[in-house]
């Protein structure tokens, strides 16, 4: 028996490769099929099943293309209805894979069809459970993604039953393999680890600890931010089917000269610059949004950009196709092309660029202590991060809220701002959005809170118990 977690940081998503006696199964695969086909060839095995834990909202799964390429059977849990050929399993149904078995555990709550797959080893002993978005490390899947078709309270009640009647009854030593890690918007505050055990989660996960239904419902529905709008589009794509990824890459990977790129921008294309922040800030196309490939790129693209807006990609040399592929992973297929030759070609053509000022934490601390320019400090981290420690007087404006222009109405174009996050990635995204909206007096703080907390500054920290 062989199990491998295939984790993609860009999406904070975990697919799984399971193998026994020449047969393999893939759980929740990414959209591109090449990695799985390559692995099957290298290991000399046949992919027999593609298991889906639910209709994913945060990315487009590769189940359809992978099944077509291998002849594997797509398996969904109970109540799932698709517009393509798939096997809808019944609760408790078992699937043999070489010498091991995968048993269906219907666990509605995140969505009605959400299903976990319990792996029984060669001796029929419970070994591990692949929990999808039902159970994460330290969290559970959010129950508010059905867009009004079912209330979050109803789904949360179903999730309570799923945890208590199915997952809590498993042995404490059973491994827990979830579909997401930290950074995913499918949970409220997912822990930093990407695997655990049932026993550990029963001790530490707030949702597994709560034994009162009403209190549980309140706990899992409280404090939910609005889900990214692309979630509903991706869930529908996964349910109805999609175009082959190779066709999309061929259609979208069009090199555009600076002149043609400029014309695309004038016709309404949004410039998405995927370079690292340190390179981006020194010169970029006016109006460009920077979401670097070096972070949770797909998560923030999906959260902050309208899926229907045409996109012009600007990337570091050799990263153009990767940028377009990562966009397709989350259903962003309206790409007009990429800037051929990158920002250097744009500058050589004589077209204008802009810059963003960034400073280090020590420079930030010195300026704040001297009350230089009386700048407002914008902390764009999550509320939980802010509550765990922040600069005294800082204003919280979570980056997720930047997707709605109304949330920026409290800011003034005339005021100067310092912007920081946890490590520097999110603050540059925020700075570029503000810059594109006409804010000119903004300064990004490199390293974010990780560097700021060590400076001589008045901080607000939680009281130690």
- The predicted-structure confidence for 407-426, as pLDDT tens digits, reads as follows 999 999 989 999 999 999 99
Of the pLDDT bands very low, low, confident and very high (cuts 50, 70, 90), residue 465 is very low
pLDDT tens-digit series, residues 211-249 = 999 999 999 999 888 888 899 999 999 999 999 999 999
CA 404 – CA 461 distance, rounded (Å): 29
- pLDDT one-digit tens code per residue, 65-98: 999 999 999 999 999 999 999 999 999 999 999 9
Q: State yes or no: pLDDT of 373 exceeds 70.
A: no
pLDDT digits (tens, 9 = 90+) for 118-159: 999 999 999 999 999 999 999 999 999 886 679 999 999 999
pLDDT at position 257: 98
The domains found in the chain, sorted by start residue, are 2-232 (3.60.15.10), 243-348 (3.40.250.10), 357-460 (3.40.250.10)
pLDDT given for residue 464 in this prediction: 59
* Band (7; pLDDT cuts 50, 70, 90): very high
Q: How far apart are CA 135 and CA 190, in angstroms?
A: 10
Residue range 326-336, pLDDT digits in tens: 999 999 999 99
More reliable by pLDDT, 403 or 39: 39
Q: Is the pLDDT of residue 43 over 60?
A: yes
Strand intervals (E) in 121-208: 126-132, 135-136, 139-140, 175-178, 196-197
Query: How does residue 28 score in pLDDT terms, banded at 50, 70 and 90?
Result: very high
| Phi and psi at residue 435, to the nearest 5° | -60, -40
DSSP 34-54: HHHHHHHHHHT-EEEEEE-SS
- Mean pLDDT across the chain, nearest whole number? 95
Q: Which of the four pLDDT bands, split at 50, 70 and 90, describes residue 372?
A: low
What average pLDDT does range 42-69 have in this prediction? 97
User: Percentage of the chain with pLDDT > 90?
Assistant: 89
Torsion of CA 177, 182, 187, 193, to 10 degrees: 40
Both tokens assigned to 116: 């976990």
Name the pLDDT band for 251 (thresholds 50, 70, 90): very high
Q: Is it the case that residue 26 has pLDDT exceeding 70?
A: yes
Within 8 A by CB and 6+ apart from 321, the residues are 249, 253
- Of 185, 380, 401, 195, nearest in space to 296 by CA: 185
* Closest residue by Cα to residue 186 from 55, 91, 297: 55
Neighbours of 410 (CB within 10 A): 8
Give 379's DSSP letter. E
Q: Please report, to the nearest 10 degrees, the dihedral formed by the alpha carbons of residues 319, 322, 326, 332 taken in order.
A: 80
């Amino acid at each position: 028996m062989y199990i491998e977690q295939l984790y993609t940081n860009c999406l904070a998503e975990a697919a799984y490769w399971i193998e026994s006696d020449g047969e393999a199964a893939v759980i929740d695969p990414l959209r591109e099929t090449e990695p799985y086909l390559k692995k099957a060839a290298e290991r000399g095995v046949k992919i027999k099943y593609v298991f889906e834990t639910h209709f994913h909202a945060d990315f487009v799964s590769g189940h359809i293309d992978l099944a077509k390429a291998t002849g594997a059977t797509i398996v969904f849990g109970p109540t799932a209805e698709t517009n393509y050929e798939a096997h809808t399993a019944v609760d408790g149904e078992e699937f043999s894979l070489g010498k091991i078995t995968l048993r269906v555990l219907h666990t509605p709550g995140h969505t009605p069809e959400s299903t976990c797959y319990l792996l029984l080893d060669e001796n029929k002993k419970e070994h591990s459970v692949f929990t999808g978005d039902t159970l994460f490390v330290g969290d559970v899947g959010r129950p508010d993604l059905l867009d009004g078709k079912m209330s979050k309270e109803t789904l949360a009640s179903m999730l309570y039953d799923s945890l208590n009647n199915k997952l809590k009854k498993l042995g404490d030593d059973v491994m827990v393999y979830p579909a997401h890690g930290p950074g995913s918007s499918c949970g409220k505050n997912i822990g930093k680890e990407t695997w655990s055990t049932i026993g550990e989660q029963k001790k530490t996960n707030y949702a597994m600890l709560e034994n009162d239904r009403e209190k549980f419902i309140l706990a899992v529905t409280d404090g939910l931010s609005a889900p990214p709008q692309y979630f509903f589009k991706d869930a529908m794509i996964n349910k109805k089917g999609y175009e082959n990824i190779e066709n999309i890459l061929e259609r979208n990977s069009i090199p555009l000269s600076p002149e043609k790129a400029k014309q695309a921008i004038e016709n309404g294309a949004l410039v998405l610059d995927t370079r690292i922040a340190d390179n981006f800030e020194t010169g970029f196309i006016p109006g460009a949004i920077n979401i670097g490939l070096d972070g949770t790129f797909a998560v923030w693209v999906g959260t902050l950009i309208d899926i229907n807006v045409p996109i012009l990609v600007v990337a570091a040399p050799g990263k153009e196709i990767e940028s377009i592929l990562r966009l397709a992973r989350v259903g962003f297929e309206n790409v007009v092309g990429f800037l051929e030759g990158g920002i250097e070609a744009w500058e050589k053509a004589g077209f204008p660029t802009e810059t963003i000022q960034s400073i280090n934490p020590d420079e930030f601390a010195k300026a704040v202590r001297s009350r230089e320019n009386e700048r407002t400090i914008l902390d764009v981290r999550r509320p939980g991060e802010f509550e765990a420690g922040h600069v005294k007087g800082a204003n919280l404006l979570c980056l997720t809220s930047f997707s709605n222009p109304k949330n920026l109405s409290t800011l003034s174009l005339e005021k100067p701002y310092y912007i920081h996050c946890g490590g520097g990635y999110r603050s540059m995204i925020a700075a570029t959005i503000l810059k594109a909206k006409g804010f000119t007096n903004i300064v990004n703080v490199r390293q974010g809170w990780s560097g700021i907390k060590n400076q001589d500054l008045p901080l607000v920290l939680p009281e130690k118990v």
